Amino acid sequence: MIVARSLGNKEGVKIRQSIGKSIPRKETWEKVTGTTKYINDTSGEPGLLHAKIAISQHAHAKIKSIDSSDAMKIQGVKAIITGQNAPILTGSPLADRPPIAIDKVRYYGEPIALIVAEQEYIAEMAALQIKVEYELLPVVLSPSDALQKNAPLIHEHLAEYKRHEDVYPEPGTNIANRTKIRKGNMEEGWKNSDHTIEVEVTSPQSDHAAIEMRCCSAQVLPDGRVIIHSASQSPFVIRRAISQSFQIPLHKVIVHTPMVGGSFGGKSAIQMEFLAFLASRAVGGRAVNLVNSREVDMISSPVHIGLHAKIKLGCSLEGKMMAAEILHLYDGGAYSDRGAVMSRSGAVDCTGPYRIDNVHCDSLCMYTNKPYSTSFRGFGHPELTLAIERAMDLLATRVGMDPLEFRFFNAIGPGDTTPTQTLLDRSNLGDLPMCIAKLKTLIHWDELSLRETKGHLIKATGVCCFWKNSNTPTDAGAGAAILFNPDGSVNLLCGAVEIGQGTRTALTQLLAERLRMEERMINITMEVNTETDPYQWKTVASRSTFLVGNALLNAADDAIVQLKNIAAIVLQCSPEELDVGNGKVFIIDRPAVGIEIEKIAYGYKYPNGNTIGGQIIGRGSYAMRNLTLLDPETGEGNPGPEWTVGAQAVEVELNTREYTYKIIKAVTVIDAGKVINPQFARSQITGAMSMGLSFASREAFIFNDKGAILNPQFRTYKLIRYGEQPEYFVDFVETPHVEAPFGLRGIGEHGLIGMPAALANSLSIAAGVELNHLPLTPEMIWRTIYDSV
């Protein structure tokens, strides 16, 4: 019986390459034809009820009473839920937040009641009829004020809050978390410092400004299953949080996340989901939809964290950095949420990517009477980088060194240790000096004058470096499954959420590379379903391609073994003699002999009908390795698998008559480990630069002295607009991270990290004053100049 077939290709199987190609997104056609379905596109379904949030008009007040009788009288109102009906505390790592305020409100915009009605506008009408009697309390509006000994306490029962991960709140204060870094000997460090500088730098809270407002629906089925649809980065965390908070067996909570319309960290927090569940439970389990208006999305849902930083740096006469003393006061707002972890992350990378042997850092997450913070692209790093890179520029000037040369000279490298005393090598660190060198060439640094005056216009270029570790939990992980179809194509199942970053397409490229298969033969849907898709921690921290990528490579290897085993029987050889590629399993020494995958994907059927094997299903999983918690006294520990490093520059033209400015160029050189899809990588980094420049130049919530937000609309909250963008330049260095798929490093957030610093540095050079406070509006520059005279 001849079963082996000639594949009709004397040259053998051509090995395909998928990595490094700019293939289009899998969801391109849906998006460009407007047929993509986002969560709220199904809000018109018959029978669906609608919920709205009534929000607090005070930033800090005791709730004396809530009268919802007028609201309840409105025809079509089904239920009204207040904090008393939902006496639970949520939040991770520190459970400090009731989904609806209980006893007191801690920020302007905090949910005080939830209304369920037949129509969205009825729920909104009723929300306006909720009458609350308050007793006003003094407000705390900055993290520095919150630290004062006599500051009003925002959380009186801090000691009693449940802790899910390592977090160190200090009861009796407004400190939600403190991370300490104690490395080396400070006395020694200062003794060896011939030059020292001190600087205070601030960045404000701001909005994530995703196009799609946060939206969620919930339904409790008669058999007790809870079905949640949510625009989220964390479907598996929603499942766990709903299960834990409401004592529902985990497997009975099913979360669906379709394509998400932008997120930037803002949809990683679990907020709306608690409310949607409470709403559905209050109406007998009927399906309830909850979507934020833009204004509520901006101020009631969690926001981008702020930072007040104090930096003291010292270096030797030659410019070698000797000591750093750093205080970070993160403006976490009314509840800690991921702000606690961001403050830790702000300690881990507090020095920036520089070799400093003596480091003392306290990084605190402070409670204030402002909207609470959650992750924002860069996770605490854009803020800390602004602070340390302003300090670096000051110190370079003090020493009299070129700012890039000073950074190159002090760049951290293999053999050095981080603030958490992790030993670095090429794999876990990448190559910062190479990034700086490439940046220098790209911007013609050596021919560039630092400051070029033409009439009342001054051109200047500011530079900075960045690094970022992911600060994931030590057990963050993911799974992947590969299901073969009888036409030889495969379905890839995984839990990474598509938020516009292109992850799900990039993952098909990793799989195509490993299976040596055409990408069009790999199917992936844009929806994640926690009941049928393998687990993934969350789609955050630029970690999806790493975690899911490793899982799917394991799954691919598992499938390859299965393919070879069955093909070996058919081809009458041993599996070791076989290889897989181009839709076939073939004999390595005789590539022309083999069998098409489609003939064995569901088992192989002999001509007489006998069948061996069955569907090929590859399975794989991966979890972080060798990570440790940080020592609470010294910060020693291993916070994540690797750093991504890079160097950035911004060129501005300042009008010295009006202090307006144009951003002319923005440049990033990043060590990407391995570029999977060049077009995606460039657009991620360019988009991140745009977001960073927008945030740095104009974005900020403006509060009055009572803590009310004065600009909760895009009429007055400024964002960078199309047409204002500078010329963008992106280039890559590729130093593989050995533990990552094909050596890749996270790049989703990193283009943003140094933009505030590079912009502040360029404008400081141009204006001739130290600009240490965001946003860098012309008025801010004017005021700094005016105040310094």
Partner 1 sequence: MIPFDFEYYKPSSVHMAVELFQLLQNQGKKPVYYAGGTEIITWARTNSIQPGAVINLNSIPECSVMGIQKDKLVIGACVTLSALSEANPFPLLSQTAQGVADQTARNKITLGGNICGKIYYREAVLPLLLANSRMIIAGIHGIREVSIHQVFLQQLRLENGEFLVQTFTDQYYLSLPFVHYKKRQIGNVGYPLVTVAALKQDNQIHTAYSGVCSFPFRSIEIDQVLNSSSIPLAARIEQAISKLPGSIIHNTEGSAPYRKFVLKQTMADTIHILERR
For binding to partner 1 (CB under 8 A), which residues are involved?
Answer: 120-121, 124-125, 127-128, 293, 295, 657-658, 660, 697-698, 702, 710-711, 713, 715-716, 718, 720-721, 723-724, 777-779, 782-783
Q: Can you tell me the distance from the alpha carbon of 757 to that of 462, in angstroms, rounded to the nearest whole number?
A: 8
Q: Work out how close the CB of 775 gets to partner 1 at its nearest, in angstroms, rounded to a whole number.
A: 8
Intra-chain end-to-end CA distance of the chain, in Å? 96
Q: Work out how close the CB of 122 gets to partner 1 at its nearest, in angstroms, rounded to a whole number.
A: 8
Q: Can you tell me the distance from the alpha carbon of 414 to that of 434, in angstroms, rounded to the nearest whole number?
A: 13
Cβ proximity to partner 1: between 408 and 701 the closer is 701
Q: Work out how close the CB of 293 gets to partner 1 at its nearest, in angstroms, rounded to a whole number.
A: 7
**Of 722, 654, 729, nearest to 689 (Cα)?**
729
Over 407-448, what HEC string results?
HHHHECCCCCECCCCCECCHHHHCCHHHHHHHHHHHCCHHHC
Angle at 405 between CA 402 and CA 409, to 5 degrees: 135
Cβ proximity to partner 1: between 77 and 227 the closer is 77
Paired with 788 in beta bridges are none
The token pair at 141 is 């509006």
Q: Work out how close the CB of 144 gets to partner 1 at its nearest, in angstroms, rounded to a whole number.
A: 22
Whether the CB-CB separation of 297 and 208 falls below 8 Å is answered with: no
Name 147's Cβ contacts closer than 8 Å, sequence gap at least 6.
173, 174, 175, 329, 364, 366
The token pair at 464 is 């900075």
Secondary structure letter of residue 14 according to DSSP:
P
Q: Can you tell me the distance from the alpha carbon of 536 to that of 527, in angstroms, rounded to the nearest whole number?
A: 13
Burial class of residue 290, CB neighbours in 10 A (0-12, 13-18, 19+): buried
Element holding 510 (H helix, E strand): helix 503-515
Cβ proximity to partner 1: between 404 and 696 the closer is 696
Cβ proximity to partner 1: between 454 and 721 the closer is 721
Phi-psi region of 285 (alpha: psi -120 to 50; beta: other; left: phi over 0): left
Cβ proximity to partner 1: between 23 and 693 the closer is 693
Q: Work out how close the CB of 509 gets to partner 1 at its nearest, in angstroms, rounded to a whole number.
A: 37
Q: Work out how close the CB of 108 gets to partner 1 at its nearest, in angstroms, rounded to a whole number.
A: 14
Q: Work out how close the CB of 156 gets to partner 1 at its nearest, in angstroms, rounded to a whole number.
A: 33
Cβ proximity to partner 1: between 126 and 146 the closer is 126
Paired with 289 in beta bridges are 50, 217
CA pseudo-torsion sign 343, 345, 346, 350: positive
Whether the CB-CB separation of 37 and 616 falls below 8 Å is answered with: no
Cβ proximity to partner 1: between 74 and 592 the closer is 74
Cβ proximity to partner 1: between 310 and 783 the closer is 783
Q: Work out how close the CB of 777 gets to partner 1 at its nearest, in angstroms, rounded to a whole number.
A: 5
Element holding 50 (H helix, E strand): strand 49-55
Q: Work out how close the CB of 740 gets to partner 1 at its nearest, in angstroms, rounded to a whole number.
A: 39
Q: Work out how close the CB of 120 gets to partner 1 at its nearest, in angstroms, rounded to a whole number.
A: 5
Q: Work out how close the CB of 279 gets to partner 1 at its nearest, in angstroms, rounded to a whole number.
A: 16
Whether the CB-CB separation of 508 and 520 falls below 8 Å is answered with: no
Q: Work out how close the CB of 724 gets to partner 1 at its nearest, in angstroms, rounded to a whole number.
A: 6
Q: How many helices (H) and strands (E) does the chain have?
A: 19, 35
Q: Work out how close the CB of 117 gets to partner 1 at its nearest, in angstroms, rounded to a whole number.
A: 11
Q: Work out how close the CB of 640 gets to partner 1 at its nearest, in angstroms, rounded to a whole number.
A: 36
The token pair at 515 is 């299976």
Q: Can you tell me the distance from the alpha carbon of 682 to that of 751, in angstroms, rounded to the nearest whole number?
A: 9
Cβ proximity to partner 1: between 40 and 648 the closer is 40
Cβ proximity to partner 1: between 3 and 128 the closer is 128
Whether the CB-CB separation of 232 and 497 falls below 8 Å is answered with: yes
Cβ proximity to partner 1: between 583 and 726 the closer is 726
Cβ proximity to partner 1: between 628 and 713 the closer is 713
Cβ proximity to partner 1: between 45 and 425 the closer is 45
Long-range interactions of 127-130: CB distance < 8 A, separation 24+: 127/52, 127/53, 127/54, 127/71, 128/54, 129/68, 129/70, 129/71, 129/74, 130/54, 130/66, 130/67, 130/68, 130/71, 130/80
Q: Can you tell me the distance from the alpha carbon of 721 to that of 697, in angstroms, rounded to the nearest whole number?
A: 12
SS3 27: coil
> Is the bond preceding 93 in cis, omega lying within 30 degrees of 0?
yes
Cβ proximity to partner 1: between 29 and 786 the closer is 786
Whether the CB-CB separation of 398 and 309 falls below 8 Å is answered with: no
